């Protein structure tokens, strides 16, 4: 098992692509009573933070640090949701590719902190928010996702 693939794409709970599949725009924007965010908002948060890490987007990172951690509007259409899923998956695949670059993982990103350390923190962060996505799917009756080969 390749550790980064396990942590960012396939392990511990359903494959991320499958867990995000088969959802409608109404489902991803629904915020059940008591929920702090919708599925779309949770994934936007994850995808945006992963994007900052993968692309080194310091400008967007500064926006996140200013307290803008979730989108201020729902997606305009279902394509925007699908694009967000693809962005999240693409940045996850980029992180997995870094496993083939030991120098990149050993690079210091802050005093005493390597990229490998940063990725471990990101994996824990992702697991927390992805668990919320699964719980939201369960609450709205959209769990489990269809089996492979379905919609």
Tell me the pLDDT tens digit for each residue of 6-21.
888 887 777 899 999 9
Which residues lie closer than 8 Å to 44 by C-beta, 6 or more apart?
A: 70, 71, 84
Is 1.20.120.450 the CATH classification of the domain at 3-139?
Answer: yes
DSSP 101: -
pLDDT at 149 over 70: no
- pLDDT category at 150 given cuts 50, 70, 90 is very low
Average pLDDT over residues 99-114: 92
Average pLDDT over residues 58-65: 78
pTM: 0.89
Q: Is the dihedral of CA 143, 90, 127, 51 positive or negative?
A: negative
Summarize pLDDT for 27-36 with one digit per residue, the tens. Answer: 999 999 999 9
């Amino acid at each position: 098992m390749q550790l980064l693939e396990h942590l960012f794409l396939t392990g511990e709970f359903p494959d991320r692509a499958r867990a995000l599949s088969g959802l409608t725009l109404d489902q991803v924007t629904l915020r059940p009573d008591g929920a702090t965010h919708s599925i779309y908002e949770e994934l936007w948060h994850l995808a945006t933070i992963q994007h900052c890490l993968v692309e080194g987007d310091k400008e967007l990172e500064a926006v996140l640090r200013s307290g803008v951690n979730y989108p201020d509007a729902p997606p305009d259409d279902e394509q925007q949701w699908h694009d967000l899923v693809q962005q999240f998956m693409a940045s996850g695949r980029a992180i997995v590719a870094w496993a083939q670059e030991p120098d990149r993982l050993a690079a210091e990103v802050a005093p005493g902190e390597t990229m490998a350390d940063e990725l471990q923190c990101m994996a824990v962060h992702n697991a927390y928010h992805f668990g919320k996505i699964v719980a939201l799917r369960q609450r709205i009756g959209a769990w489990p996702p269809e089996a492979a080969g379905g919609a």
